[in-house]
Amino acid sequence: MRKPYQQLFGHQEDFKVKYRFYSQEEGGRYTLPHQGIRSDFCYESADHEINWLFMIYPEFEDEQGNLIEEGEVLKEGVARMWILNAKNRAYHRSRIKIGTVGYFREGSRSTGICEVVEIIGLLQNPTE
């Protein structure tokens, strides 16, 4: 059984997003991912190089806002987002705002779209 990121990292998630995984017809996945997927995060922004990715991993909630412990996640919902590289926190603090749009990426393709809906631990200073 996987450990929740809050237990692993010792702090709250950095921010939350509302997300939607693309269907196979939209170029997305054949099946929905399972909790623990380490898809990357990419900003929707013209000032980033193409495919400039960040190690910001999602952790998915169920319809009631509880962490899905394991198994398949929802096609649309809310995910807790975790910035893995503490050296990049100041950079992300300057970019992530309510309404910021980004994408879940797996390799070279986007598998879902997301929008920041809440900023939590990013405003704090864990391990920076």
Q: Please write the tens of the pLDDT for every residue from 19-31.
A: 999 999 998 889 9
Torsion angle, alpha carbons of 102, 103, 108, 111, to 10: -170
> For the segment 1-24, what is each residue's pLDDT rounded down to a tens digit?
688 989 988 889 999 999 999 999
pLDDT at 99 over 80: yes
**49 domain-assigned:** yes
**100 domain-assigned:** yes
Characterise 93 by phi-psi region: left (phi > 0), alpha (psi -120 to 50), beta (else).
alpha
Query: Is pTM, for the whole model, over 0.85?
Result: yes
Domain coverage including residue 45: 17-123
**106 domain-assigned:** yes
Count: domains in the chain: 1
Can you tell me the distance from the alpha carbon of 81 to that of 118, in angstroms, rounded to the nearest whole number? 10
> For the segment 89-98, what is each residue's pLDDT rounded down to a tens digit?
888 898 899 9
113 pLDDT band, cuts 50/70/90, is: very high
**8 domain-assigned:** no
**34 domain-assigned:** yes
**12 domain-assigned:** no
Q: Which residues contact 23 (CB under 8 A, 6 or more apart)?
A: none
**Structural tokens at position 80:** 């807790």
> For the segment 30-86, what is each residue's pLDDT rounded down to a tens digit?
999 999 998 888 887 656 655 566 789 999 999 999 999 999 999 999 999 999 888
